[in-house]
Structure 1
Amino acid sequence: MRHLPSFPDLRDFIAFLEARVSDPVLLRHEMTAVQLAALRAGGSALRFDAHDGPSMPVVTNLFGTRERVAAGLGLTLDQIPAFGDFLASLRSRQSPEGMRDALSRWPMLRAALAARPKLLRHGPVQEQVMPGLDALPVQTPWPEDAGPLITWPVVVTRPHDSKDGELARYYLGVYCAQVLGPDRLIRRWLAHRGGAAHHRTWQRAGEAMPVAIALRADPALLLGAALPLPEAVSELGFSGVLRGQRTDLVQARSVPLLVPARAEIVIEGWSHPDETAPEGPFGDHTGCYNAVEYFPVMRVSAITSRRDPLYLTTVRGRPPDKPSVIGEVFNTLALPVIRIQIPEVQDLWLPAAACSYRMAVVRIDKRFPGQARRVMMALWGMLPQFSNTKMIVVVDDDLDIRNWDDIAWALATRMDPARDVMVLDRTPIDYLDFASPLEGLAGKIGVDATTKIGSETSREWGREMRLDPAHAARAEALLARIAA
């Protein structure tokens, strides 16, 4: 079902998209301004050939539009819903019903084969060795940032009781990394994410954890690592499904890990059990600076790269920014998976203005009393990422959930604050949410703005006023003739 070509590495994708900036630009703050201006104007991906850092081209704004996020998957934007259905079908474990059904599932079988990574003896990412982190043109995005920040790293980890060949147990996550010096950096990872869980297993064993950071991987690996996948789904395997080709891996030079062979740069190193350092403050996707906190230090043991590598960067800020654009596409991809587990959900919207995940508006096919609350609780427990969604509004299937006027009307006419608001206290929340009274713990609110049925109300419900569609069509025709 792919329409556009597959992009096995970043260079193929950039050649498909890029526009070059030849004027010199400062890595501190000025490059941020150019990126945001381009993103908010819906501009193309940018390649900076002249800047005040080490001599290496800087690429940014790859996923600045929904169309380019889709292109990274080899699809046009209108193919994203069908691709979401296809990904959801891969999760189904139903047996085929006869030979015809088995043959109809051939695309799924081919996708499963593409999900199996391929081990290479040599990879392009190991063509040369770099001296240290100071050889990278790392941005300092915002004026009060603590220092240079690597913003698009794909961090590769595995638990202590695993071997480097057990790829199903690997975890890939996108964690920003503060550069402390030529051989040290800090990774900021959240306690509920896979990388932090792996780190705890090495801490309990009292051993240093091997870590690899792939910089500038292909778009399928970048997007696969950023997707909110269930814990049992391998990001390495899933990226093969997205790409339509197997993921090429190679043995790291100095740590017992397999790393993406077609990345531009790989940073290898070790995190010792009790070595931490203060990270931040840094500007974040909330539009505010985060607090200074302690996170694990990574001691760099090797940096390998392609010849003439490219450095990919991005910037985060109050939406619209890159995460919010990617989030819009991921919203569409995730909907079929959500509907498998919560069938009454017809549509779900994570407004970009609410930081792409802190608020959800859900449209349901309501059939019984209490159903809206059931949906709220199911969503909060479905994926770890939904634990950071602090407000859910549920509406009926006659409304457009992407229309704020429809949402406001439902809240004003179908919701009673004393009856239809569910408030939870001391639940897990994004530690970056400075509005929460306790770090990592906060309240959640669910609002039932659906029509009340059965035991939900003791009075007659209001009947909505609607004109005969024929009269409405006649009115439009008359007005069109007058305007002409």
Structure 2
Amino acid sequence: MRTLPPFPDLRAFLAWLAGQGDLAAIPDPVALRHRMTAVHARVLAAGGPVLRFDAPVRADGGVSAVPVITNLFGTRARVAAGLGLAPEGIPALGEFLAALRAPVPVEGMRDALGRWPMLKAALATRPKVVPRAPVQEEATPDLSFLPVPTHWPGDGGPLITWPVVVTRPRDSTAEAVARYNLGVYRAQVPGPDRLILRWLAHRGGAAHHRTWDRAGEPMPVAVVLGADPALLLSAALPLPETVSEMTFSGVLRGSRTRLVPARTVPLLVPADAEIVVEGWVHPGDTAPEGPFGDHTGYYNAVEPFPVMRVSAVTHRRDPLYLSTYTGRPPDEPSVIGEVFNDLALPLIRQQIPEVRDLWLPPAGCSYRIAVVAIDKRYPGQARRVMMALWGMLPQFSYTKMVVVVDGDVNPRDWDDIAWALATRMDPARDVMLIDRTPMDYLDFASPLEGLAGKIGIDATVKIGAETAREWGQVMALDPADAGFAADLVARRLPGLGG
């Protein structure tokens, strides 16, 4: 599926981006406390390049020798490139992900050969264990050398924001990579030898933690910093539970994932990462985490989360530190979410065939609002689509508002959506309210933590039993007249863009 060169590590990706003119070095001293985030946010909002801060300034005024990389996935094009694709290749990857969840039976030899690229990609998921690795060129006893930013004025301290946290369940071995979970969970740095890992109860890392905690045994954990783009995005993708993020990264990368045994914990870790933090989470060992600014645009409350006791830090001789921030969109997670929106479309259509398009507005915290365009054929269809979406994927259980429009409305255009709401929706008839449903506990608007209402709005043309009135006719130019106008304007008024 890849159309871009292979990126076996973060450095290869950065070198390719530099060749595209999409990497900017910042030689000026920039404070890790708040100012680096301020620069990053301004550049991201302008659609700017990846940033390499070569003189990160610590809180004590010293300059770190470790450069900080930010804004890696600050544009849709770079997210696609991280997946090994040009932006137009995203739908094909979405079809592949849908096939992973519900494979279509092969029909004969010709069909099997036609799917060879998919079969070849699946074979590439088998990891390769190597005896030596760049990420273990050097070792340090603690985290004090890392240039970890403090992002927002109300934050509780330095926060690692792009960690790939590697865990496995207790009833597995270190070699059972297919059972590993990779998750991007933020990690607070309360001291040089500790991390506070914020994994929510429904995430894979938390599920693994419960298996060790019930047995009263410490859990081995590895925190990977500066992984290659395929591994980073695999850890963030909503993959099927039966698909390991570690092994799936080989599909995106186009080559097998190179792993090496960790030095102090029974885990295999990415051989070509920049930095790996090894450690243990002991039963019942928690600490207050936060507050920290989040993707909602608000600070989270302080809550207890597991503490990881650091046993080793291995890294390259000249490591790079990868960072980002989370906040009210636009931020990197919202940009990644836009691409993942398009990746999810084939799966959504597989389950709900009448869906023509779906948009999760980034301003709606990436998943709390959905606008769906459908090919409507029967009364009540819009409500059926709302309920199907809420129950289809775990991510949609946190979508508090679903607006359904017809196929002639662009669900990614707020003006089109407003027109549909104004002309095709009656508040007394076309609004469906549901109470006490699952909700992200970070939603402060919820009356109860973890439980909230949902609203579905049917902004489609009403047909059959849905209305007793004759519906109006939509105004539109004849296609021939519209084509004539476009040609004339393009020739005579080129400044208007045709």
Q: TM-score, normalization: structure 1?
A: 0.96
**Alignment partners' CA distance in 2, 1:184 and 1:203:** 19
2:44 to 33, 36, 39: 39
**Alignment partners' CA distance in 2, 1:199 and 1:396:** 45
Tell which deviates more after alignment, 409-418 or 396-405: 409-418
Paired residue type of 2:347 = V
**Alignment partners' CA distance in 2, 1:301 and 1:152:** 20
Paired residue type of 2:175 = G
| Deviation by residue 1:368-388 (Cα, 9 ceiling, x = unmatched) | 222222222222222222222
Paired residue type of 2:330 = P
**Alignment partners' CA distance in 2, 1:261 and 1:197:** 25
Q: Is the 8 A contact 1:228 1:383 kept in 2?
A: no
Paired residue type of 1:173 = G
Q: Is the 8 A contact 2:259 2:268 kept in 1?
A: yes
Q: Is the 8 A contact 2:398 2:440 kept in 1?
A: yes
- For residue 43 of structure 1, give the secondary structure of its aligned residue in structure 2: coil
Partner of 2:126: 116
Q: Aligned in 2, Cα 1:163/1:482: closer, same or farther, shift over 3 Å?
A: closer
**Alignment partners' CA distance in 2, 1:244 and 1:87:** 15
Aligned positions of 1:58-457 closer than 5 A: 58-457=68-467
1:51 CA displacement:
1.8
Q: Is the 8 A contact 2:101 2:240 kept in 1?
A: no
Tell which deviates more after alignment, 71-80 or 470-479: 470-479
| Deviation by residue 1:397-417 (Cα, 9 ceiling, x = unmatched) | 111111111111111121222
Tell which deviates more after alignment, 374-383 or 462-471: 462-471
**Alignment partners' CA distance in 2, 1:150 and 1:158:** 21
**Alignment partners' CA distance in 2, 1:244 and 1:4:** 10
Aligned-residue sequence identity (percent) comes to 74
| Deviation by residue 1:250-294 (Cα, 9 ceiling, x = unmatched) | 111111211111111111111122111111111111222111111
| Deviation by residue 1:89-130 (Cα, 9 ceiling, x = unmatched) | 344433322221111111011110112222222222111111
**Alignment partners' CA distance in 1, 2:87 and 2:261:** 36
Partner of 2:61: none
Q: Aligned in 2, Cα 1:461/1:314: closer, same or farther, shift over 3 Å?
A: same
- For residue 57 of structure 2, give the secondary structure of its aligned residue in structure 1: coil
Q: Is the 8 A contact 2:166 2:223 kept in 1?
A: yes
Tell which deviates more after alignment, 313-322 or 83-92: 83-92
Paired residue type of 2:34 = H
1:61 CA displacement:
0.8
Partner of 2:468: 458
Partner of 1:52: 57
**Alignment partners' CA distance in 2, 1:114 and 1:202:** 31
Q: Aligned in 2, Cα 1:114/1:476: closer, same or farther, shift over 3 Å?
A: closer
Q: Is the 8 A contact 1:6 1:73 kept in 2?
A: no
**Alignment partners' CA distance in 2, 1:183 and 1:149:** 14
Paired residue type of 1:15 = A
Q: Is the 8 A contact 2:141 2:311 kept in 1?
A: no
Q: Aligned in 2, Cα 1:97/1:417: closer, same or farther, shift over 3 Å?
A: same
Does residue 15 (structure 1) correspond to residue 18 (structure 2)? The answer is: no
Q: Is the 8 A contact 1:192 1:384 kept in 2?
A: no
- For residue 134 of structure 1, give the secondary structure of its aligned residue in structure 2: coil
Aligned residues: 484
Paired residue type of 1:10 = L
Alpha carbon RMSD of aligned pairs, Å?
1.8
**Alignment partners' CA distance in 1, 2:351 and 2:257:** 29
**Alignment partners' CA distance in 1, 2:141 and 2:336:** 34
**Alignment partners' CA distance in 2, 1:252 and 1:15:** 27
**Alignment partners' CA distance in 1, 2:489 and 2:231:** 53
- For residue 144 of structure 2, give the secondary structure of its aligned residue in structure 1: helix
- For residue 268 of structure 1, give the secondary structure of its aligned residue in structure 2: strand
**Alignment partners' CA distance in 2, 1:329 and 1:433:** 23
1:150 CA displacement:
0.2
**Alignment partners' CA distance in 1, 2:423 and 2:347:** 31
Q: Aligned in 2, Cα 1:146/1:423: closer, same or farther, shift over 3 Å?
A: same
| Deviation by residue 1:342-368 (Cα, 9 ceiling, x = unmatched) | 211111111111111111111111222
**Alignment partners' CA distance in 2, 1:365 and 1:270:** 52
**Alignment partners' CA distance in 2, 1:191 and 1:428:** 13
Partner of 1:25: 30
Tell which deviates more after alignment, 138-147 or 438-447: 438-447
Q: Is the 8 A contact 1:90 1:108 kept in 2?
A: no
Paired residue type of 1:337 = L
Partner of 1:5: 5
Q: Is the 8 A contact 1:36 1:321 kept in 2?
A: yes
- For residue 94 of structure 1, give the secondary structure of its aligned residue in structure 2: coil
**Alignment partners' CA distance in 2, 1:31 and 1:94:** 48
**Alignment partners' CA distance in 2, 1:483 and 1:107:** 47
**Alignment partners' CA distance in 2, 1:110 and 1:341:** 26
Paired residue type of 1:184 = R
Q: Aligned in 2, Cα 1:468/1:205: closer, same or farther, shift over 3 Å?
A: same
**Alignment partners' CA distance in 2, 1:57 and 1:439:** 40
Q: Is the 8 A contact 1:160 1:198 kept in 2?
A: yes
Q: TM-score, normalization: structure 2?
A: 0.93
1:475 CA displacement:
5.4
